[in-house]
Amino acid sequence: MAGHPVSLSARDVGSFAYLTVKDRLPQILTKAIDTLHRHKSEFFEKHGEKGLEAEKKAISLLSKLRNELQTDKPIVPLVEKFVDTDLWNQYLEYQQSLLNESDGKPRWFLSPWLFVECYMYRRIHEAIIQSPPIDDFDIFKELKDQNFFESQESIIALCTHLQELMKTIEDLDENQLKNEFFKVLQISLWGNKCDLSLSGGKTVSQKINLINSLEDLKPFILVNDMEHLWSLLSNCKKKRGKAAITRVDIVLDNSGFELVTDLVLADLLLSSKLATEIHFYGKTIPWFVSDTTLHDFNWIIKQLKHSNHKWVSKCGVDWENHIKTGRWVYLDHMFWTLPHEFSAMPQVAPDLYATLQKAHLILFKGDLNYRKLTGDRRWEFTVPFHEALNGFHPAPVCSIRTLKAEVQVGLQPGQGEQLTASVPNWLTIGKYGIFQFDGPL
């Protein structure tokens, strides 16, 4: 790691990492405890006394975790055997090896923010799997569902836009198609504002019609590599033989409204023949409050299919069909819920890295993916994205994120300083966005 800047950490009092560990993470744990309390009668109905005992046990484990966090106790190894337990505990040992003797053990306010935040969500999962028979309970599900239901008007507008576009997509000339592609990319970008881990689990639904706001939002795109994406995919389309495939991989972020925007983008890619196959990657366990799991992915498509709005329902039917025909493939892998930065993937998850290498383009949605792409370090704003990726180049990649963490690279000289002078908290408020590409041009 020589030559790399230090990791973002709650050591820096007053930083966004510090405020997250001090305030936001305990709030999320409190909400998780409240959720278990509110489902008490449901657990009793389903499982009788055993359900009540399990609820008590999970609450006690989460309360203990909250106390450890708030009193800055040492990070302890995971105890419950699960597919990733050994990898987590090895990573904890690695974090220990980075510390000086005077530091003692890895702790919440000392160790890298990326590590301790991921660790908290993994400990929440441990508390649930240690509490059978409620060990399959998704503590964040109702928040994700609420985000989806409260964004209905925007979802209707989006599905209507897509279905109207489908009627004429075959007749669009290259320039018109490019404009539509850019529009749907921007919708997917601004859909990333709906992040429940940023709001401490408070609802953040999409109330405005994004399609009508795109022009107003353009000045807030700090790095705009959409042209590179168009150039790459339209070249693939032109050179593609009849039997050949163009595969775009989308590493998902939030469920709810954002997932719908990603599915709209995926549908456009297929319908326009810019891609012939889409692979989606989600999380194996509930993660960062609103991240997409297989259950969320299937649930949303089912909700859309059964909508009483014809265009919303048509989207659901079409998307279910893409899955049945294998043009859309959903995959998960435990690596996405490990604390490692992505540059460690070839060593830690060589199978996943080999899979990604087969893609023509990988779109990484959201902030956590960006933090893992760049190692969540205190980079200078002007450091090239390629350098910050630290050797992670499985295929051409593009980060599509709204900024909600104090890490951003690849800016023009003076751009970051100018923003800091006019909007001091520009890095963390989700107001600014990027399409940041790395790959051969």
CATH for 140-438, options being 3.60.20.40, 3.40.50.10880, 3.90.220.20, 3.40.50.620: 3.40.50.10880
CA of residue 321 relative to chain centroid, distance = 25
Q: How confident is the model at residue 101 (pLDDT cuts 50, 70, 90)?
A: confident
User: What is the reported pLDDT for 1?
Assistant: 44
- pLDDT above 70 for 208: no
Domain 16-130 top-level CATH class? mainly alpha
What is the residue extent of each domain of the chain?
Answer: 16-130, 140-438
Q: Do domains 16-130 and 140-438 have the same CATH topology?
A: no
Residue 396's contacts (CB-CB under 8 Å, 6 or more residues apart) are 232, 360, 361, 362, 437, 438, 439, 440
Phi then psi dihedrals of residue 221, to 5 deg: -90, 110
Tokens 């012939």 — which residue? 276
Phi then psi dihedrals of residue 158, to 5 deg: -70, -45
- pLDDT above 90 for 398: yes
Which residues face 224 on adjacent strands?
Answer: 435
Alpha-carbon span 124 to 78, nearest angstrom: 11
User: Is residue 30 a contact partner of residue 118, using CB atoms and an 8 Å limit?
Assistant: no
- pLDDT above 80 for 68: yes
**pLDDT tens column, 300-335:** 999 999 999 999 999 999 999 999 999 999 999 999
Cα-only R_g, the chain: 22
Mean pLDDT of the chain: 95
- Does this model's pTM top 0.85? yes
User: What is the reported pLDDT for 200?
Assistant: 58
From the list 57, 8, 115, the residue with the least C-alpha distance to 408 is 8
What is the DSSP annotation of 155-210?
A: HHHHHHHHHHHHHHGGG--HHHHHHHHHHHHHHHHHHTT--TTTTTT------S-G
Tokens of 215: 């022009």
User: Is residue 293 a contact partner of residue 282, using CB atoms and an 8 Å limit?
Assistant: yes
Average pLDDT over residues 144-162: 95
